[in-house]
Amino acid sequence: MMKPNYPQIILSFAYRGCKVEIDRDELDEGYCSYAAWVNHDRGCAVAVPSAMTTRDAIRQAKSWIDRRY
Distances (CA, A) of 15 to 12, 32, 62: 10, 24, 7
Residue 35 has pLDDT above 90, yes or no: yes
Q: Which long-range contacts (CB under 8 A, 24 or more apart) does 24-33 make?
A: 24/54
**What is the arithmetic mean of pLDDT over 7-31?**
94
How many Cα atoms within 13 Å fall on the side-chain side of residue 4? 3
Map out the domains of the chain as residue ranges.
Answer: 21-68
Radius of gyration over alpha carbons of the chain, in Å?
13
> Is residue 5 scored above 80 in pLDDT?
no
Sheet holding 18-26, edge to edge: 9-15, 18-26, 32-40, 43-51
What pLDDT sits at residue 33?
Answer: 96
